[in-house]
């Protein structure tokens, strides 16, 4: 039997975010930076946001050097008023908000629960969870005025399972999955889809740094064993998943927690 001709999917999806205005938080580093570049290559107007100006401006420069459209907006997501200003800046700059990748976050301090101070607990919950609530609150309000949009939050494989000495981070990331599902239930019928990605260990500058330090060699080896694919991920592999979730190609995907983890959660 003659097979039907296969058309290259890359041409049809290459510009799948064309003309969409998308906020990326934590866009000065790691997953956020790569994702911002990927969204721009897919045709988005990207609001590159981070608490750190220098690194985020480098992301904007990188987008501009490829001919993309991006604007830097500095925001500390641990402050509600700054989150509100970030969303207003996106709408003022490009006239509307179509998507958001709420990705900024901080890692665990590395202590068992009984050694964790209340301040350390509260900081993790504030930056890794409450900020996602604030981001969604103002983004959804903006999106509903122009007919809807899509939001992707960065949770973690540790939003579904735990590792030792990471209680505050594990709790916050479980919360990100929960609030993603709750928002999907509230806004699905109003045209706003909300999903989250669950990265496994991703090779960001922090992991690269730990890899060169012999003190962390055995713990990194143990973590690697938990990835059946046999390697850690690249930031762009999270960005590609987020790009798809933000695009109209994922129009029936709502309230999902998508593992992008080399099989970490499968075994
Ligand atoms: N790298 C991994 O292995 C991994 C695994 C699972 C989940 N994640 C999650 O992915 C996301 C991105 O992680 P990454 O590895 O790219 O980290 P990263 O440290 O490279 O980038 C995080 C960015 O968030 C910014 N940020 C921190 N606090 C902020 C605040 N209060 N306001 C605004 N911006 C702030 C930082 O300045 C930084 O640019 C995080 O939510 C993290 O929890 C990462």
- The active-site residue, picked from 138, 169, 187, 264, is 169
Q: Mind listing the pLDDT tens digit for each residue in 93-145?
A: 999 999 999 999 999 999 999 999 999 999 999 999 999 999 999 999 999 99
Domains along the sequence of the chain with CATH: 16-266 (3.40.50.720)
pLDDT at 29: 97
pLDDT at 219: 85
pLDDT at 13: 58
Give the distance, in angstroms, between the CA of residue 233 and the centroid of all CA atoms in the same chain: 14
Q: Which residue owns the Cα nearest ligand 1 atom 42?
A: 105
Give the Cα-Cα-Cα angle 86, 139, 137 (nearest 5 degrees): 105
CB 23 within 8 A of CB 101: yes
Distance (Å, whole) CA 196 – CA 212: 31
pLDDT at 10: 43
Residue ranges of the chain whose pLDDT lies below 50 = 1-12
pLDDT at 8: 43
Distance (Å, whole) CA 91 – CA 144: 12
Q: Mind listing the pLDDT tens digit for each residue in 229-246?
A: 999 999 999 999 999 999
Distance (Å, whole) CA 41 – CA 243: 10
pLDDT at 2: 45
pLDDT at 80: 99
Pocket of ligand 1 (CB under 6 A): 25-26, 28-32, 50-52, 55, 75-78, 103-106, 127, 154, 156, 199, 201-202, 204-205
- What number does the ligand 1 atom closest to the CA of 31 have? 16
The 10 Å Cβ neighbour count of residue 185 is: 12
């Amino acid at each position: 039997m003659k097979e039907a001709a296969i058309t290259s999917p890359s041409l049809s999806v290459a510009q799948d975010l064309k003309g969409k205005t998308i906020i990326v938080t934590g866009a000065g580093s790691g997953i956020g930076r790569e994702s911002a570049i990927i969204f721009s290559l897919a045709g988005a107007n990207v609001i590159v946001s981070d608490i750190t100006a220098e690194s985020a401006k480098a992301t904007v420069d990188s987008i501009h050097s490829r001919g993309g459209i991006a604007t830097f907006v500095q925001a500390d997501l641990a402050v509600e008023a700054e989150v509100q200003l970030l969303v207003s800046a996106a709408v003022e700059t490009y006239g509307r908000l179509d998507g958001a990748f709420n990705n900024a976050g901080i890692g665990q301090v590395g202590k068992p629960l009984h050694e964790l101070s209340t301040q350390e607990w509260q900081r993790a919950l504030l930056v890794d969870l409450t900020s996602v609530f604030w981001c969604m609150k103002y983004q959804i309000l903006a999106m509903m005025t122009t007919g809807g949009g899509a939001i992707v939050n960065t949770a973690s494989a540790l939003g579904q399972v735990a590792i030792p000495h990471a209680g505050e981070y594990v709790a916050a990331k479980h919360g990100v999955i929960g609030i993603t599902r709750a928002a999907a239930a509230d806004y699905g019928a109003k045209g706003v889809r909300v999903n989250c990605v669950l990265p496994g260990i991703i090779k960001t500058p922090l992991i690269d740094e730990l890899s060169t330090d012999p003190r962390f060699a055995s713990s990194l080896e143990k973590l690697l064993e938990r990835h059946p694919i046999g390697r850690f991920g690249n930031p762009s592999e999270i960005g590609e998943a987020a790009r798809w979730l933000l695009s109209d190609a994922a129009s029936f995907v709502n309230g999902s927690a998508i593992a992008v983890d080399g099989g970490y959660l499968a075994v």
